[in-house]
Amino acid sequence: MISWEIIAGGVEFFHLDMERFMPLKKFYESVDPELLARCCKAAAAYPAPFPLAEVEKTFAAADLRRFLLLCIVANYEHLREYYRTNGFPAGMLEEIRWDLRVWLDTLYRDYDEYGLTPRIFDWECQCLTGVVRQFGRLQANDLHLFFPKLSVWRQPDGKLEVKSAFMPDNPPQPDLTWGDRTINIHIPASGTLDRKECIKSLRKMDEFFREFHPDYDYKAVVCYSWLLDETFKSLLKPESNIVRFQQLGHVLPLAGMDQTAEVRWRIWGRKFADTPAEELPVTNSMKRNVAGYFARGGKFNEGMLIIFRDELPQLFSEID
């Protein structure tokens, strides 16, 4: 049985806002304890399937979000034991403990209540089971194979040549191709995207993989994100953190990956999903420029950042 004392322990462990969390106690008391225990166990077994379809039939939308949150919070001892058993630095555990709070604050903006959508619940399961770990400002997957079906070659002028992978007329020996080992980084919404802090994170990742995955001969660090649409270079100042983050490596567009709705959600939240572009609240220059771009019919696509492994020392020299 998952007692309320266990839940309360998780609230403290994940640095959650107890005042916002306490309204869930009445809901907790109404939940079938066997269902909760079974689902908590499933959440800690990621990537094994979670019975989401069953849970969605059991709870309406708001209660579904509450239930999914309980399943994560109740597993705090699992997370602590995972880091202890693997001998990972204590600082890494402290960093990933904050990720749930970051997402809950974002979703509270959208729903005026504490809870997790299925999409973010899946993400938190990955954090809970070590599939995603935090290294200072940035996060990274444990292991990640390059999944775009592309091959990439570096050219003498620093540009990239990109072709569909494994085509018979491709040049030999690409610098990166589908299935190669990489470090896949994520950008949590936990503060400014300071370039030096990002480079510090990259160095922590490299050191971690050398110590704990010494045989993982990764080819590059990669990132897939709405923040990597090169349109931002024309909308933001050259010294903006987003532009400077893109300049950490090589940026390529990902065809067919429309991120327009994602950009709107990330910047303004769910409540402004259908607001005409001309009526979006603009409290800073970024919002003003993006809203103006929307008003002109502009769209955003996902981009990909590639930093080849042998390019990392040059970045590290910026912080030495």
pLDDT one-digit tens code per residue, 219-238 = 999 999 999 999 999 999 99
The closest of 187, 183, 68, 184 to 128, measured between CA atoms, is: 68
Same domain, 53 and 89: yes
Check: CB of residue 286 under 8 Å from CB of residue 236. Answer: yes
Instruction: Show the CA angle centred on residue 224, arms to residues 221 and 230, nearest 5°.
Output: 105
Check: CB of residue 98 under 8 Å from CB of residue 15. Answer: yes
Chosen domain end from 82, 102, 130: 130
At 141, which helix (H) or strand (E)? Answer: strand 138-141
C-alpha 255/C-alpha 16 separation (Å) is 38
C-alpha 175/C-alpha 132 separation (Å) is 25
Place of tokens 């005026």: 112
Strand 181-186 relative to strand 220-225, pairing: parallel
pTM value?
0.95
Strands (E), 208-313: 220-225, 250-258, 301-308
Same domain, 107 and 143: no
Q: What is the pLDDT along the chain (320 residues), one digit of tens a residue?
A: 999 999 999 999 999 999 999 999 999 999 999 999 999 999 999 999 999 999 999 999 999 999 999 999 999 999 999 999 999 998 999 999 999 999 999 999 999 999 999 999 999 999 999 999 999 999 999 999 999 999 999 999 999 999 999 999 999 999 999 999 999 999 999 989 999 999 999 999 999 999 999 999 999 999 999 999 999 999 999 999 999 999 999 999 998 899 999 999 999 999 999 999 999 999 999 999 999 999 999 999 999 999 999 999 999 999 99
Same domain, 221 and 187: yes
Same domain, 225 and 306: yes
C-alpha 201/C-alpha 137 separation (Å) is 6
Cα 65 to chain centroid, rounded: 19
Same domain, 159 and 248: yes
C-alpha 152/C-alpha 171 separation (Å) is 10
Bridge partners, residue 306, by sequence: 222, 250
Chosen domain end from 130, 159, 177: 130
Domain hosting residue 196, numbered range: 138-259+300-316
Query: Checking phi first, is residue 269 left (phi over 0); if not, alpha (psi -120 to 50) or beta?
Result: left
Neighbour-count burial of 39, counting CB atoms closer than 10 A to its CB (0-12 exposed, 13-18 middle, 19+ buried): buried
C-alpha 59/C-alpha 62 separation (Å) is 8
Q: What is the CATH number of the domain that holds 242?
A: 3.40.630
Bridge partners, residue 144, by sequence: 182
Same domain, 148 and 200: yes
The closest of 194, 199, 300 to 239, measured between CA atoms, is: 194
pLDDT one-digit tens code per residue, 77-100 = 999 999 999 999 989 999 999 999
Phi, psi of 303, deg, nearest 5: -120, 165
Chosen domain end from 108, 130, 152: 130
Q: Is residue 276 part of a domain?
A: no
Place of tokens 């996060």: 139
Q: Is residue 278 part of a domain?
A: no
Tell me how many domains the chain contains: 2
Same domain, 57 and 187: no
C-alpha 97/C-alpha 72 separation (Å) is 11
Residues 6+ apart with CB under 8 A from 114: 16, 17, 20, 21, 23, 24, 66, 69, 104, 107, 108
